[in-house]
Amino acid sequence: MQDFIPLIRWFQISSSGFRKNVMPYKKIIPKDLFHEIIYYHLDPSYEVISNILPPRISQKFGKLDSSLIKEEHVAIISSWIDKKEINFYDHKRNPYSFKLLYRASKDGFEAKNFHQLCDNKGPTVTIAKIHSNDKLIGGYNPLDWKPRSNFSYLSGDNCWYSTFDSFLFSFTLKSSSNDNSAPQIARIGNSGNISDYAIGYNVNHGPSFGGGWDLSIQEDNLIYSYGAYSYPDCDSFITKNPYLKLEDYEVFQIIKK
């Protein structure tokens, strides 16, 4: 058994798999390696120092396809999805894959194109670049984009869906002079019925969040924001302005590895 220890990818074993299949053999595993595995499962940001085999390159989950974000952004967003506000995932151990569904500059800015490519695809992340701005803004929708099905509220052509897991966020681009700006997040509010307006849907709009709208992408290459209605902290990074010119935006399907 000792001869096989260097050939095992220990840090790709899940916590439950480690408990069930590895713990019984604790005595034959080198103490330093065993402690490192424990540290890794307690703190995913822990930097492994053991000389073990690296993770296999997955054929199922390919390289990130994005003109707006990098793997480091993906790791932070993934951490937020799992409600980790500190000790973000290392991008090499990110539990989620981001599959590009839609890029406005390639697929067209029309709302029908967004809905054709992104509706009924499960959880998604939207990333938008504002024209002549050094920030990316976006949102996480843990639900499907879908029209008029089990909605929480309906008004004209607009319907809303309830969730406590959605959020809006912002990143400052590295090319900015203000490189030290921390990523910002605004989670859905929890007072009253605010969460009933977490995710908006309109066949003539792109991705939409909040009852305000707090953030909504329109067909005319504009992002609309009428204030922090459903996401109380978003006014710290999204300007209350119904006419923010959009440079490009991307939508990713979130897939658990």
pTM more than 0.95: no
pLDDT tens sequence across 212-234: 789 999 887 888 888 889 999 99
Of the pLDDT bands very low, low, confident and very high (cuts 50, 70, 90), residue 152 is confident
203/218 Cα distance (integer angstroms): 10
pLDDT over 70 at 174, yes or no: no
Q: What tokens appear for 125 in the block?
A: 């992340």
pLDDT of res. 2: 60
CA distances from 113 to 107, 173, 198 (A): 7, 27, 22
Closest by CA to 140, choosing from 104, 108, 111, 170, is: 170
Cβ atoms within 10 A of the Cβ of 64, count? 17
Distance (Å, whole) CA 34 – CA 49? 12
Alpha carbon distance 155, 159 (integer Å): 6
Instruction: Report how far residue 231's alpha carbon sits from residue 112's, in angstroms, rounded to the nearest whole number.
Output: 26
Cβ-count burial 6-24 (b if 16+ within 10 Å, e if not): eeeebbebeeeebeeeeee
> In sequence order, what are the beta bridge partners of 88?
none
Residue carrying the six token digits 């480690």: 18
List the Cα angle 247/249/254 in 5-degree steps.
165
The distance in angstroms from the start CA to the end CA of the chain is: 29
Indicate the range of 66-80, 98-112, 188-202, 237-251 predicted with least confidence.
Answer: 237-251
Q: What is the pLDDT of residue 1?
A: 57
Displacement of CA 133 from its chain's centroid (Å): 21
Q: Got the DSSP string for 96-117?
A: EEEEEEEEHHHH-S-HHHHHHH
Res. 58 pLDDT band, cuts 50 70 90: very low
pLDDT tens digits for 18-39? 778 878 877 878 888 888 778 7
**DSSP letters spanning 167-201:** EEEEEE-TTSS-TTPPPEEEEPP-STTGGGGSEEE
**pLDDT value of position 57:** 45
Report the C-alpha gap between 214 and 141 in whole angstroms: 14
